[in-house]
């Protein structure tokens, strides 16, 4: 009785010899893909947010929704915001707003030099950088967050007009706990629409921005009142600095 030798399939041997991914490698691949998607998503949203009919929300507003807390925000177009408020915010937060392309490199380099020398550092975040943080990034301070802010700010400044960028910033900034956007802030603090803010009210709102949790524009401290006076004076002399918004 003859026995036949079972012929082996070369393709079968090759598939059996092919190394299989370990579960750990598959998990790491999924994590890397997720990280890439999270980093890439803002760059896909930036062109969409250039459309004036879209009203973006900030990461803080999203966290309010997720945790079930209520918040106030009434979107207003740029032309419905008092120019004195825009001037005050610019002179308080980013005096070179019309001159840079999203990042004030001179101010940033000074901060880096101070940090390397062990000196106390001051903020160098421009309005585009703050908008990038508010729209897409967590509010916790870190070197990684700052590194992500910079290219996002440059991309927004490239894709959006200066007016659109300022409009979005003023409509997503936090002005008090649970109060977002300049319209809700003007109503909450002074009982007037954003279009009717006075110079002093605008200056007080501007100096509230760096710390909206502790600063109250309707009940300013002595230091806030002093700062508001400085900002009010700068805003009245800001004509050359705001041409990109009102030309």
Architecture of domain 59-246: Orthogonal Bundle (1.10)
What whole-number distance in Å separates Cα of residue 92 and Cα of residue 243? 17
State the burial class of residue 85 (Cβ atoms within 10 Å of its Cβ: 0-12, 13-18, 19+): buried
Q: CB-hemisphere CA count at 13 Å for 208?
A: 28
CB-count exposure of residue 165 (10 Å: 0-12, 13-18, 19+)? buried
Backbone angles phi, psi at 179, to 5 degrees: -120, 115
Q: Which helix (H) or strand (E) holds 179?
A: strand 179-180
Tally of CB atoms within 10 A around 232: 22
pLDDT given at position 157:
97
Integer Cα distance of 73 and 62 in angstroms: 12
Per-residue pLDDT of the chain (247 residues; tens, 9 = 90+): 455 555 555 555 554 555 566 888 888 888 887 777 778 899 999 999 999 999 999 999 999 999 999 999 999 999 999 999 999 999 999 999 999 999 998 877 776 665 555 554 455 789 999 999 999 998 888 888 889 999 999 999 999 999 999 999 999 999 999 999 999 999 999 999 999 999 999 999 999 999 999 999 999 999 999 999 999 999 999 988 899 999 7
pLDDT for 116: 55
Domain ranges in the chain? 59-246
State CA 148 to chain mean position distance: 11
Largest pairwise CA distance in the chain: 110
H-assigned helices in 102-198:
105-116, 127-136, 143-159, 162-172, 182-190
Are the CB atoms for 108 and 122 separated by under 8 Å? no
pTM over 0.75: yes
**Can you tell me which residue has the tokens 């207003």?**
76
The pLDDT of residue 101: 94
Report the pLDDT value the prediction gives residue 107, as an integer from 0 to 100.
Answer: 79
Terminal Cα-to-Cα distance of the chain (whole angstroms): 101
Question: What was the pLDDT predicted at 121?
Answer: 46
Please classify residue 197 by burial: count the beta carbons closer than 10 Å to its beta carbon, then call 0-12 exposed, 13-18 middle and 19+ buried: buried
């Amino acid at each position: 009785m003859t026995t036949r030798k079972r012929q082996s399939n070369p393709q079968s041997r090759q598939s059996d010899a092919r190394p299989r991914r370990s579960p750990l490698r598959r998990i790491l691949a999924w994590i890397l893909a997720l990280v890439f998607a999270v980093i890439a998503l803002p760059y896909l949203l930036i062109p969409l947010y250039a459309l004036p009919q879209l009203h973006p929300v900030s990461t803080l507003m999203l966290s309010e929704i997720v945790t079930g807390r209520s918040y106030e925000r009434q979107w207003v177009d740029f032309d419905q915001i008092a120019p004195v408020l825009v001037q005050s915010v610019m002179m308080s937060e980013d005096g070179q707003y019309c001159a840079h392309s999203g990042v004030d490199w001179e101010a940033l380099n000074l901060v880096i030099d101070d940090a390397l020398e062990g000196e106390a550092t001051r903020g160098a975040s421009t309005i585009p950088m703050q908008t990038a943080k508010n729209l897409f990034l967590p509010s916790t301070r870190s070197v990684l967050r700052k590194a992500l802010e910079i290219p996002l700010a440059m991309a927004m400044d490239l894709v959006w007009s200066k007016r659109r960028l300022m409009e979005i910033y003023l409509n997503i900034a936090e002005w008090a706990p649970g109060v977002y956007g300049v319209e809700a802030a003007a109503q909450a603090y002074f009982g007037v629409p954003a279009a009717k803010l006075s110079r002093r009210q605008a200056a007080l709102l501007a100096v509230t921005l760096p710390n909206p949790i502790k600063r109250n524009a309707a009940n300013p401290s002595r230091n806030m009142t002093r700062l508001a006076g400085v900002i009010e004076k700068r805003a009245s002399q800001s004509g050359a600095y705001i041409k990109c918004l009102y030309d």
